[in-house]
A and B are shown apart, each in its own frame.
Chain A
């Protein structure tokens, strides 16, 4: 400002710019708070980000797809590039999906990216949810965020199903047919529900248009809103952190938002984007051209929903055919797994944080996580729930498994039925035992020290193992008991400094390995002082 020469002062430019911005928008105080916000750092805190980034990829690729997709069920004779369907009567929606796949440059890649990103979105939600559950991150004050997370899974489920239905290929139609059957199975209102969604009898000529607007506007809008609230709450309530040195229930130890955390997140977004692109380029997904246009008379073996719906399909497959008759009315067996089961298993877990707090009487605020082993009860219940989910999901593909592994399909069904009841209980028992065992081992190390692997023989002939105490010792050399902190306890001597730290570097060492300490009395054996061992003869 002082020197008004012909040349602009480049060094001063950012300063003047930022000053200008702040004078107009008063942004510096909130921005400083934001950029200085501290995030704890642990790999497992990045799982939710995979879902967030997949959602961004879904929005980007989805916008591309809408440019070419025509959500109309008008019949047309296909005249496009794919020879094996040329001349076939099909809906405009299917024809435009084929056009998108075969004639639009990069269209198939974008479609595959969209589908893989959808699978990844749901997978990341489930893996993230597992992390939240097993570490107790949902406890007060974060219960509402747990509920929102479950709602996000449900919305994602609906987004996935509507998207699966849009291309109007054989597999989509089979899925819609099942959805319509599920609606029809609801007592009293079923017929009306189905008729109002399909605009009359299945399949009608409205459903693709209706699902389209749900898929591209309503559900993404809901997802976007819920994701904003979800992240806003994480911001407001601050991230949980693992217990450990310097970490308490009232502080946050980690990295500032800017530059480290933002850089890492930017890099991670690139990694997620790259992974989705890699999947889309290498692995063929949903080859709609093989499925043909949807005809009610055509169905394929191995018709499955996408993986996150498969648990419901599995429950349907495992349900015995118990039809309940009440007078002139009947409740089909489909109702129980598909309506009651789906409704229960996606909404009941929302109440879990309050149920647990009620049972334990714990009303305190928790900002420190618990390791799964430190709450065996919860870990057992989580293992139980996931075992149930996995058995149901596997049963959703039981025909493919039966065929490829040469198992009888009936055996798979019965295995699923029995497994659904027996395995969760077994998983509960095993995980509780494993948690207690791991805890016990940690406590042992705290009480006695690290096992050194050195065996000492006492004068009376007894053998004892020498332990390295982790803390101070009493007059007899026995370690003083250390408090159990719920965090990693060193179990090996090289964790307490017996060996130098590992050499850093991913593919090649980025630093010179430190020299091993040399005892003056025992010089290291070097190559030239060794004598070759021979037989003695020359």
Chain B
């Protein structure tokens, strides 16, 4: 860039009008500006940042204290002290909320057996009460989404359209991974969307709120609490009730893949034996 670009000229004009300040004055000015900027940044930070750490140990309720005990015994090795996370082992739990804890621990996914693509559901290590205590601890530690109180399945007598609306929302939001029949599906590299056959309303609500494992978060601005309840209504009252009018066996509702297996294992096998029998009659 040459010195007579319009910008440079304007700058020169600007400074000439003010006069050249002394060196000391320039330094003082720089220091003052720096201080002001720091104060502004700090002020904005303190105004907006959550003050969770300030006086955390004293505020824990009795339930959370119990939860902390459990946490320090069973979770701390991967999630670190005060849920801050350990690199390459476990993520920070600040802000995940009790919904996340109740889903992950309540379904036995946490504590994990080993590090792998995704935690498998297994027999829960903690009872319901302990899960609540752990959830309370994590909630008080960093806040986050919580399960709402009240019934999570809509009453079809009061709200008969809930099941159809829930089905519609299910197909828009959930089937791409969990499948039309809720039988689950594969994701890349060993990850998967689990089957919904034995999911309880609380688990499903917590999963939508917290987005566990590879599931996206469906926050209340994406699916309102009512819409979440409608989806749960569809899954519990339609998919889980095993309403298969088409026969005794639903072939897992996996679609044409198991139907193809069935036509060979049942249809062709039966008929080949029949043809052996018929041709053998002489």
A408→B117 contact, CB < 8 A: yes
Q: 30 A-B residue contacts at CB 8 Å? A: A46-B278, A47-B272, A49-B275, A84-B167, A87-B165, A112-B246, A171-B180, A264-B279, A264-B281, A268-B275, A268-B278, A271-B271, A275-B274, A285-B247, A286-B259, A287-B244, A291-B171, A297-B172, A301-B175, A302-B179, A304-B256, A306-B259, A307-B259, A396-B257, A400-B185, A403-B184, A403-B192, A409-B188, A410-B189, A506-B277
Interface residues in A, total, Cβ within 8 A? 77
Answer whether residue A183 sits at the interface, using C-beta atoms and an 8 A cutoff.
no
Contacting residue for A46 out of B167, B257, B279, CB 8 A: B279
- Nearest-neighbour CB distance to chain B for A296, whole angstroms, equals 11
Contacting residue for B246 out of A50, A127, A287, A401, CB 8 A: A287
Contacts of B163 in A (CB 8 A): 83-84
Contacts of B192 in A (CB 8 A): 402-403
Using A301-B186, A403-B185 as known contacts, say yes or no to A279 and B257 having CB atoms under 8 A apart. no
Answer whether residue A292 sits at the interface, using C-beta atoms and an 8 A cutoff.
yes
Contacts of A404 in B (CB 8 A): 254
- Nearest-neighbour CB distance to chain B for A161, whole angstroms, equals 12
Contacting residue for B275 out of A43, A86, A88, A408, CB 8 A: A43
Known: A284-B246, A290-B180, A292-B168. 5 other contacts (CB 8 A): A310-B260, A399-B185, A403-B184, A403-B185, A408-B190
Contacts of A298 in B (CB 8 A): 171-172, 175-176
- Nearest-neighbour CB distance to chain A for B249, whole angstroms, equals 5
Contacting residue for A302 out of B185, B247, B266, B275, CB 8 A: B185
Chain A 383-424 interface mask (CB, 8 Å, partner B; 1/0): 000000000010011011111101111110000000000000
Contacts of B277 in A (CB 8 A): 506
B260→A283 contact, CB < 8 A: no
Interface positions of B from 228 to 271, Cβ below 8 Å from A:
234, 238-239, 244-251, 253-260, 262-264, 266-268, 270-271
Using A170-B180, A282-B249, A290-B181 as known contacts, say yes or no to A306 and B260 having CB atoms under 8 A apart. yes
Contacts of B168 in A (CB 8 A): 88, 292
Answer whether residue B177 sits at the interface, using C-beta atoms and an 8 A cutoff.
yes
Answer whether residue A188 sits at the interface, using C-beta atoms and an 8 A cutoff.
no
Contacts of B176 in A (CB 8 A): 298-301
Contacting residue for A279 out of B166, B175, B266, CB 8 A: B266
Distance in angstroms between the alpha carbons of A305 and B161 in the assembled complex: 32
Distance in angstroms between the alpha carbons of A282 and B192 in the assembled complex: 30
B183→A123 contact, CB < 8 A: no
A43→B164 contact, CB < 8 A: no
Contacts of A86 in B (CB 8 A): 160-161, 164
Distance in angstroms between the alpha carbons of A298 and B176 in the assembled complex: 7
Answer whether residue A219 sits at the interface, using C-beta atoms and an 8 A cutoff.
no
Answer whether residue B280 sits at the interface, using C-beta atoms and an 8 A cutoff.
yes
Contacts of B193 in A (CB 8 A): 301
Contacts of B187 in A (CB 8 A): 409
Answer whether residue B79 sits at the interface, using C-beta atoms and an 8 A cutoff.
no
Contacts of A300 in B (CB 8 A): 171, 175-176, 179-180, 185, 255
Answer whether residue B178 sits at the interface, using C-beta atoms and an 8 A cutoff.
yes
Q: Which residues of A contact B (CB under 8 A)?
A: 41-47, 49-50, 83-88, 101-102, 108, 112, 116, 119-120, 123-124, 127, 170-171, 255, 264, 267-268, 271-272, 275-276, 278-287, 290-292, 295, 297-307, 310, 393, 396-397, 399-404, 406-411, 506
Answer whether residue B282 sits at the interface, using C-beta atoms and an 8 A cutoff.
yes
Answer whether residue B276 sits at the interface, using C-beta atoms and an 8 A cutoff.
yes
Q: Which residues of B contact A (CB under 8 A)?
A: 117, 156, 160-161, 163-168, 171-172, 175-181, 183-190, 192-193, 234, 238-239, 244-251, 253-260, 262-264, 266-268, 270-272, 274-282
Contacting residue for B267 out of A123, A267, A403, CB 8 A: A123
B247→A284 contact, CB < 8 A: yes
B190→A42 contact, CB < 8 A: no
User: Does more than half of chain B's interface fall in helix, strand or loop, or is it mixed?
Assistant: helix
Contacting residue for A120 out of B156, B172, B178, B263, CB 8 A: B263
A127→B260 contact, CB < 8 A: no
Chain A CB within 10 A, most for which of B164, B257, B272 = B257
A84→B234 contact, CB < 8 A: yes
Distance in angstroms between the alpha carbons of A407 and B279 in the assembled complex: 43
A to B contact number (C-beta, < 8 Å) = 221
Distance in angstroms between the alpha carbons of A207 and B281 in the assembled complex: 49
Contacting residue for A275 out of B181, B247, B267, B278, CB 8 A: B267
B161→A87 contact, CB < 8 A: yes
- Nearest-neighbour CB distance to chain A for B11, whole angstroms, equals 48
Contacts of B186 in A (CB 8 A): 301, 399-400, 402-403, 409
- Nearest-neighbour CB distance to chain B for A223, whole angstroms, equals 19
Contacts of B247 in A (CB 8 A): 112, 280-285
Contacts of B282 in A (CB 8 A): 41, 255
Distance in angstroms between the alpha carbons of A325 and B181 in the assembled complex: 40
Distance in angstroms between the alpha carbons of A484 and B167 in the assembled complex: 67
Distance in angstroms between the alpha carbons of A408 and B160 in the assembled complex: 41
Distance in angstroms between the alpha carbons of A264 and B164 in the assembled complex: 51
A264→B278 contact, CB < 8 A: yes
Distance in angstroms between the alpha carbons of A287 and B252 in the assembled complex: 11
Chain A's closest residue to B259 (CB) is A285
- Nearest-neighbour CB distance to chain B for A83, whole angstroms, equals 6
Distance in angstroms between the alpha carbons of A454 and B275 in the assembled complex: 37
B270→A275 contact, CB < 8 A: yes
Using A271-B278, A301-B186 as known contacts, say yes or no to A292 and B167 having CB atoms under 8 A apart. yes
Distance in angstroms between the alpha carbons of A302 and B175 in the assembled complex: 10
- Nearest-neighbour CB distance to chain B for A44, whole angstroms, equals 8
Contacts of A267 in B (CB 8 A): 278
- Nearest-neighbour CB distance to chain A for B158, whole angstroms, equals 14
Distance in angstroms between the alpha carbons of A46 and B246 in the assembled complex: 30
6 shortest interchain CB distances as A-B pairs: A301-B185, A307-B260, A284-B246, A397-B257, A46-B275, A43-B279
Contacting residue for A88 out of B164, B245, B260, B271, CB 8 A: B164
Distance in angstroms between the alpha carbons of A281 and B259 in the assembled complex: 14
Contacts of A304 in B (CB 8 A): 255-257
B268→A291 contact, CB < 8 A: no
Distance in angstroms between the alpha carbons of A112 and B247 in the assembled complex: 9
B271→A272 contact, CB < 8 A: yes
